[in-house]
Structure 1
Amino acid sequence: MTSHPDVFFLPAAGGEQRLCLFHAPSSAFQGAPRGKLLYVHPFAEEMNKSRRMAALACRALAEAGHAVLQIDLRGCGDSSADFGDAGWADWQADVRLGLAELDRRVPGAPLWLWGLRAGCLLAAADWGRPVNHLFWQPMTNGKLALQQFLRLKLAAEMASGASKGLMDQMKAELAAGRPVEIAGYRLGPSLAAGLEAAKLAPAGTAGRVEWLEVSTREDATLTPVNEQAVKAWQDAGWSVQAQIVQGPGFWATSEIELAPALIARTVEALS
């Protein structure tokens, strides 16, 4: 029988709290945990679209003998603060907070930072310790990630003809230190600047990278940009395994969709 995760609020700076879910290794698994993972969720609405996939993957990893901690970053989900008040540095601090809690609950065991989409950009940093990376559909460039998010407002305004010059206007507002409203989210200048500057570049002690993408095409291959990114990690001494499996882009579909092959490949890769 699958056990339920431990749901709790983790104290954060300024009297705030971060919602966390801890998935302990299955009691059916004998021995020390195979590994421990901190899940770094994607940006804005992609987090909500991906919740079901993340939950199923956490359950599968726990059944395979891994410990997994999910954390809602500042201003996201049920954690303290508003999305518009969060900054990139706040999210980096939350990752450190999650790592400390994971260490407290699971001393030892190989450590993995598991990112989805823009969560990979946040995870790919030097955390002052050996870390392996599990990348799900990684975004390699934060500037492009920001542009894609800003384009959501362009698409919404296009029908009314109000989109002309809107991209430059939004960038000017952010540069002046003022937030902008996009698809129901208030994006603050600090978060926008941090995302824009982020790159999926190797940092810290070299370890393992499991790079997994999904596609509905059977003959899909990595884009040239992603191939270059993989090579950069390999050149820096990281052991990188990249693979594309069958599945929909669940983080962006209109209805909640699943990619079972991605979960199965993830468990196989880490076990």
Structure 2
Amino acid sequence: MAASSVFFLDAGARGQRLCAHYPARSPAPTGARGQILLLPPFGEEMNKSRRMIALGARAFAAAGFEVLTMDLLGCGDSSGDFGDASWAAWQDDVRLGAGWLDQRAQVTDERKPPLWLWGLRAGALLAPAAYVDSLDFFRPVNLLLWQPVTAGKVQLQQFMRLRVAADLIGGQAKGAMQAMRDQLARGESVEIAGYALSPALAEGLEAAQLKPSPRIARVAWMELSPREDASLTPAAEMAVSAWRAQGAQVRASVSQGPSFWAATEIEEAPRLIEASLAALMAGDDFEIAEREPA
């Protein structure tokens, strides 16, 4: 297998985006089994997830999938600071990465291989940017979702609570949440856990939702639990039912493993990668709901 490569993708006047490309191992004569674009999690969750992202990308490439990961505007080694980011700019970054993969895709049987949008946590909320009015309508588009956040207002509230917790320790928590919202409403950025949250990013994230779409052919909904015998949460069950009602094939799975994106130390969840590979490689039996074996 060709080694992964790291490069800067030109975003024009918006600067450069640091990308990691994982070529597919031993693809068929007609090309890779499919392409995968990472939609990264929010804030510090991305830093905690880098190990799992790298492990997953290598495993997917070894199975014959071409993978692209990207640091969005203001994240990692990409151009700008976090305070420069907006939800619209991150959507543009997703379209940029999807377009790069689309140009590389080989046409087989008069169509391109499927594009999997790999949404990790709040990254799932960026998925519509890659399949609404941006790609060839006839290209299969699928979702691989790792513990997805489906409503941005939930992610934003959790993020802002970090500031409230810090203020509580300092004895200044009273009215902290409303004070932050007032600050954003005045067009001022808010400092939270070392990140400068801009009004444009906060507003876009709060309004973002991942809703069922007829553009999506398959959804691999992957969750983690510390328990061996866990089932999908009621909220996830409702979301899965909504996607199926829209016509998508859905494979839902709960794997045993830690919440690596929120852990104090860097953690790994190998069963999540195994379940994801099973979904990516599934054929006509794709649509199953399963519980990971002990």
Q: Is 1:18 paired with 2:17?
A: yes
Contact 1:150 1:167 in 2 (8 A): yes
Q: Tell me, what secondary structure is at the counterpart of 1:200? A: coil
Question: Against the structure 1 CA distance between its residues 172 and 93, is the aligned structure 2 distance closer, same or farther, given a 3 Å change threshold?
Answer: same
Q: CA deviation at 1:4?
A: 2.3
Deviations 1:177-211 (A, max 9, x none): 11000000000000101100011212352310000
Within the alignment, does 1:169 sit opposite 2:173 as a pair? Answer: no
Return the structure number with greater relative CO, CA threshold 8 A, min gap 6: 1
Deviation larger for 101-110 or 208-217: 101-110
Deviations 1:214-262 (A, max 9, x none): 1101232222222211111111111111110010000010100000000
Q: Which residue of 2 aligns with 1:36?
A: 35
CA contact (8 A) 2:91 2:126 kept: yes
Q: Which residue of the partner structure matches residue 121 of structure 2?
A: 117
Identify which of 253, 265, 283 aligns with 1:255: 265
Instruction: Indicate conservation of the 8 Å contact 1:131/1:207, yes or no.
Output: yes
Q: How far apart are the structure 1 equivalents of 2:269 and 2:33?
A: 24
Tell me the amino acid that sits aligned with residue 34 of structure 1. Answer: R
- Equivalent residue for 1:224, pick from 210, 213, 234: 234
For the 8 Å contact 1:75–1:81, the answer to whether it is kept is yes
**Out of 250, 254, 275, which is 1:265 matched to?**
275
- 2:287 — aligned with what? none
Q: Tell me the residue number matched to 2:289.
A: none
- Structure 2: how far apart are the matches of 1:91 and 1:40? 10
Shift of 1:160: 1.9
CA 1:199–1:246 in structure 2 vs 1: closer, same or farther (change >3 Å)?
A: same
Q: Give the structure 1 partner of residue 168 of structure 2.
A: 158
Contact map agreement 1:134 1:211 (CA 8 A) in 2: yes
**Does 60-69 or 96-105 show the bigger shift?**
96-105
Matched residue of 1:139: which SS? coil
| Match of residue 49 from structure 1 | 48
Gaps of 5+ in 2: 107-111, 282-294
Q: Which amino acid letter does the alignment assign opposite residue 10 of structure 2? A: P
Displacement of 1:152 in angstroms is 0.7
3-state secondary structure, aligned to 1:190:
helix
| TM-score, normalization by structure 1 | 0.95
CA distance in 1, matches of 2:157, 2:176: 12
State which drifts further: 131-140 or 216-225.
216-225
In the TM superposition, what is the alpha-carbon distance from 1:106 to its structure 2 partner? 2.7
Percentage of identical aligned residues = 56
Query: Once superposed, which parts of structure 1, at least 4 consecutive aligned residues long, lie more than 6 Å away?
Result: none
In the aligned structure 1, how far is the partner of 2:232 from the partner of 2:150?
12
Moved more, 16-25 or 104-113: 104-113
Superposition RMSD on alpha carbons, in Å?
1.4
Q: Which residue of 2 aligns with 1:80?
A: 79
Q: Paired residue for 1:242, among 249, 252, 256?
A: 252
Q: How much has 1:127 moved relative to structure 2?
A: 2.6
1:197 aligns with 207
The answer as to whether partners of 1:67 and 1:106 remain within 8 angstroms in 2 is no
**In the alignment, is the contact (CA less than 8 A) between 1:200 and 1:229 conserved in 2?**
no
Name the residue aligned to 2:132: 127
Letter paired with 1:5: S
Partner of 1:212: 222
Amino acid at match of 1:148: Q
TM-score with structure 2 length normalisation? 0.88
2:214–2:247 contact (8 Å) kept in structure 1? no
Asked whether the equivalents of residues 143 and 216 of structure 2 are also in contact (C-alpha less than 8 Å), the reply is no
- Paired with 2:14 and 2:182, the residues of 1 have a C-alpha distance of 33
One-letter identity of the residue aligned with 2:132:
W
Aligned partner of 1:58: which letter? A
Match of 2:292 in 1: none
Cα distance in 2 for residues equivalent to 1:190 and 1:214: 31
- Structure 2 distance, partners of 1:187, 1:157, is 17
